[in-house]
């Protein structure tokens, strides 16, 4: 019996997630959105492309959220983008209403599924989805650190002139301007990155990584990134569906690790068929640990603001 993935939101990211999953034949896909005709049209387009791509799975577009029933993973991409002048709190309030409503449907129709959150502010929305769903913490997690680490690897590759394939990078903390790139776990074939780049230049790369999404928004002028976010999501979905036990930086529920408790924040985890199967507490430099805790505090405060409003 084939696996099933539901993607909530038929925008650029959601559609690309559906396409990547289908073209890899990872699972049957349900693409759901409230806009009539949008998910149906995009699903039909993907199926037509699939005849050329060797696709053997089904892709269904729908406005009926009950079709998430039986999903192994539900990927949540629906929501509004952050616009110029909008605060993180305003975005959280706006997207929080969408997350609350749809997650209730997911919990009703697919009580055994996992929720993979992509909607921003990512860590806040992940924690909200966990609270609303009532699911175990292992089954609700967010994408941010995988994307941030991918961007960091690219920018480092360009800065040092070495293939990104040979660079390992780890970005923890919130998916936003309080993210925490970790020097000690950023290497080129196991050799610490500071052997290849000076501190000042590395700090410039880190700053570019923090603004990686904003840089794309500025270049596009309308819209935001979708290729790298969708690739990040599908890497995580594949780890779950194939039970590969991969280690990723994921927005996961932390229960005392790093001196943080009771919030979702980007930490290294083992991702497999059980969802977040292990949260790893790795040694961090004093400044990095302090930055990670500050990042978690921002998520906690933002969440408390929208939870009380709800």
| Average pLDDT over all residues of the chain | 95
| pLDDT score of 287 | 96
Cα–Cα distance measured from residue 254 to residue 1, given in angstroms and rounded to the nearest whole number:
34
Q: How many other β-carbons are positioned within 10 Å of the β-carbon of residue 197? A: 19
Residue 164 pLDDT greater than 90, yes or no: yes
Interval 296-307 mean pLDDT: 94
Q: Which residues contact 27 (CB under 8 A, 6 or more apart)?
A: 2, 3, 4, 5, 21, 57, 72, 73, 237, 241
Candidate list 127, 175, 227, 264, residue with the active-site label: 175
Instruction: List domains and CATH numbers for the chain.
Output: 4-144 (3.40.50.720), 145-309 (3.90.110.10)
Number of Cβ within 10 Å of residue 51's Cβ equals 8
Provide the percentage of residues in the chain whose pLDDT is more than 70. 99
pLDDT at residue 310 greater than cutoff 80: no
CA proximity to 156, closest of 204, 191, 224: 204
Give me the pLDDT at residue 214, please: 86
Strands 4-8, 73-76: pairing kind: parallel
Task: Specify the pLDDT at position 84.
Answer: 67
Q: Catalytic: 264?
A: no
pLDDT of 218 reads: 87
Helix (H) or strand (E) holding 141: strand 140-142
Whole-model pTM: value is: 0.96
Token pair of 96 as six digits: 């929080």
ω into 121 cis (within 30 of 0): yes
Q: Whose CA is closest to 248, among 263, 270, 274?
A: 270
For position 85, what pLDDT does the model report? Answer: 67
């Amino acid at each position: 019996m084939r696996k099933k993935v539901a993607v909530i939101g038929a925008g650029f990211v959601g559609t690309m997630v559906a396409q990547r999953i289908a073209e890899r034949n990872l699972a049957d896909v349900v693409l759901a959105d409230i806009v009539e005709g949008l998910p149906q049209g995009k699903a039909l387009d993907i199926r037509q492309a699939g005849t050329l791509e060797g696709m053997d799975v089904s892709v269904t577009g729908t406005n009926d959220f009950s079709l998430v029933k039986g999903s192994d993973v539900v990927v949540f991409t629906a929501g509004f983008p952050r616009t110029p002048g909008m605060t993180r709190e305003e975005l959280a309030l706006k997207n929080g209403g969408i997350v609350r409503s749809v997650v209730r449907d997911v919990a009703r129709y697919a009580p055994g599924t996992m929720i993979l959150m992509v909607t921003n502010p990512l860590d806040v929305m992940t924690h909200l989805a966990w609270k609303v769903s009532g699911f175990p913490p292992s089954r609700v997690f967010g994408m941010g650190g995988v994307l941030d680490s991918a961007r960091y690897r690219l920018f480092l590759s360009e800065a040092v002139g070495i293939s990104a394939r040979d660079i390992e990078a780890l970005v923890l903390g919130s998916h936003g301007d309080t993210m925490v790139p970790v020097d000690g776990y950023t290497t080129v074939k196991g050799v610490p990155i500071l052997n290849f780049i000076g501190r000042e230049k590395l700090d410039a790369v880190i700053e570019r990584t923090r603004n990686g999404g904003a840089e794309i928004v500025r270049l596009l002028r309308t819209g935001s990134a979708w290729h790298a976010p969708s690739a990040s999501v599908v890497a995580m979905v594949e780890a779950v569906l194939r039970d590969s036990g991969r280690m990723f930086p994921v927005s996961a529920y932390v229960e005392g690790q790093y001196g943080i408790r009771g919030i979702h924040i980007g930490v290294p985890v083992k991702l497999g068929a059980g969802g977040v199967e292990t949260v790893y507490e790795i040694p961090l430099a004093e400044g990095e640990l302090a930055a990670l805790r500050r990042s978690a505090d921002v998520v906690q405060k933002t969440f408390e603001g929208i939870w009380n409003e709800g």
